[in-house]
Amino acid sequence: MQRHPDLLGFYVCGGGMEGAISVIREEKLGGKLLAVVNELTPESRDALADAATVMPPHQQGVETKPALRGPTRSSHPPQSAADDPRSTKNSV
């Protein structure tokens, strides 16, 4: 992080997602530095809520949207991914 202060995010393609999430939280970088992860685990689900991680676009329509629904989100979520303006035919 110190060598690349302009880094916006990185992709975690294998193991180590938990460590990456821990660093983002410890350094209070949520929303400034994002770890892109593939797996939806209890830890990555929590990290989605505090802006420490994002899911790849091809998984957002399937896994991310339900994980983000809650008291801080709209009380009227889209009924389907097709109703969400962020969705495209290739992302659902």
Report pLDDT digits (tens) over 64-83. Answer: 455 445 444 444 444 444 55
- What's the total number of domains in the chain? 1
Q: How far is CA 23 from CA 35, 36, 53, 72, 86, in A?
A: 10, 14, 12, 24, 29
Q: Give the pLDDT of residue 73.
A: 43
2 pLDDT band, cuts 50/70/90, is confident
Report pLDDT digits (tens) over 34-57. Answer: 888 888 888 888 888 877 777 665
Q: Give the pLDDT of residue 45.
A: 82
| Residue 37 included in any domain | yes
Determine the structural domain holding residue 57 and report its residue range: 9-70
| Residue 47 included in any domain | yes
pTM for the full model?
0.55
